Amino acid sequence: MVQAVKARTFPSGQRLEITQGDITAETTDAIVNAANRYLEHGAGVAGAIVRVGGPQIQAESSRWVQEHGLVSHSEPAYTLAGNLPCQYIIHAVGPMWGEADEETKLADAIRGSLRLADQLDLRSIAFPAISTGIYRFPVLLAAQVILSSIRGYLSDNPTSRLELIRLVLYDRDTWQVFADVLEQDDYLSS
């Protein structure tokens, strides 16, 4: 259940929403999984997605790695969504804090996910706060990088068919940080 929403509309008409809720309940065309490069979904967002969506997600992810190799930050993988209400899961590899060049890697994961959503001809996508959990990326910096990456992608890709980009944040404190960063940034129109 969504408890808090902050929204803005880009000049192109595309909508960005920041919500507090459970990403496994999202009905967007795709949700983004905060994955590791092996697509082993054991903990955090990835674990929750497989618990709710079913073991077929892990099976399909394992096949992806066998066929395509390890997943990079800029080139996410995708699978069907199993029992989840969305159609696809985009598996984005975020950086672990302290591994070097974390901001660039997080920006690459966001842009790569949006690019893949466009390749799949999707209209809506939902992201978690990638890397801010067990990977310890500072939430404020993540909010700045994620929001800037979304803005940059849409600016660079004016023909994107995405109509809705939603950030689904599990806890109120994280939601508040993202909402504050969005409020402070004047690049979006009301």
Q: The CATH number of the domain where 150 resides is what?
A: 3.40.220.10
In a domain, 172, yes or no: yes
User: Is beta strand 124-127 parallel, antiparallel or unpaired with respect to 77-80?
Assistant: unpaired
Tokens 């008409």 -> residue: 13
Q: Quickly state the pLDDT bin for 12 (edges 50, 70, 90).
A: confident
In a domain, 109, yes or no: yes
Residue pLDDT, tens place only, 71-126: 999 999 999 999 999 999 999 999 999 999 999 999 999 999 999 999 999 999 99
The rounded distance, in Å, linking the Cα atoms of 155 and 11 is 10
User: What is the total count of domains within the chain?
Assistant: 1
In a domain, 6, yes or no: no
In a domain, 116, yes or no: yes
Range of the domain at 152: 12-183
Residue pLDDT, tens place only, 146-165: 999 999 999 999 899 999 99
pTM here is 0.94
Q: Are 182 and 33 in contact (CB under 8 A)?
A: no
The rounded distance, in Å, linking the Cα atoms of 185 and 181 is 6
The rounded distance, in Å, linking the Cα atoms of 75 and 117 is 12
Q: Are 120 and 30 in contact (CB under 8 A)?
A: yes
In a domain, 104, yes or no: yes
Find, among 52, 134, 62, the residue nearest to 91 by Cα. 62
